[in-house]
Amino acid sequence: MTRRPDIASLVGSRICHDLVSPLGAIGNGVELLELSGLPQTPEMTLIAESVANANARIKFFRVAYGGAQADQTMGRAEIASTLAAAARGGRISYFWSVEGNQPRREVRAVFLLLQCFETAMPRGGDISVSRDGGAWELTGEGERMIIDEPLWSSMLSNRARPQVTASQVQFLLLPEALAEMERPLALKLGQDRIIARF
């Protein structure tokens, strides 16, 4: 029996792929204007920062929502630079302490989980990612976390999932990504800390 294609990741890959080129062109245009000697106006600064932020988010989304083949890997430098770019100017800092190349499917699950953490950290905070043997552990710490317990708990069960908004789609995709790898999820939810393992 042929496995059903992962339509969500195919759509994610297509959108990210189609946006990378125009964003890159805008970034190159801004650089050329700067090199031409034009004064650095607030408007130019805003455009440059906006393009950089958009590029950072696209790189992050490409990993989290794009397709990943079983034999694909990602290097530590690429992962770290993607997280550093995504964190720039934001309220959340990422700390990646995993060495070497990692299976892209597993990194995809980590990035989806990072997005789950972000929903609980409106005031920002720190998220650490480590790996012990084959097990991943993510720890998020921040002030006044807002944890939607039914939404988080729904990832631990095969029962009907709650209604989600577009900004919560990672809560639907993560269980599917983990099931594909046959990796169970364990969660510990607190007022100022979340620990997740898979």
Residue 166: DSSP 8-state = G
* Tens digit of each residue's pLDDT, the chain (198 residues): 445 556 666 676 677 667 777 777 888 888 888 888 878 888 888 888 888 888 888 889 989 988 778 789 999 999 999 999 889 878 999 999 999 999 999 999 999 999 999 999 999 999 999 999 899 999 999 998 999 988 999 898 877 677 888 889 999 999 999 998 999 999 999 989 999 999
Distance linking the first and last C-alpha atoms of the chain: 28
CATH architecture for the domain at 73-198: 2-Layer Sandwich (3.30)
Please state the separation of Cα 92 from the chain's center in Å: 12
Rounded to two decimals, what is the model's pTM? 0.84
Residue 99 is encoded by which pair of tokens?
């060495």
Q: Hey, how many other C-beta atoms are within 10 angstroms of the C-beta on 95?
A: 13
Q: How far is 88 from 190, CA to CA, in rounded Å?
A: 26
Q: Where are the domains of the chain?
A: 1-67, 73-198
Helix (H) or strand (E) holding 189, with range, is strand 186-189
Please state the separation of Cα 123 from the chain's center in Å: 18
H helix intervals, the chain: 7-35, 42-65, 76-87, 104-119, 149-153, 170-180
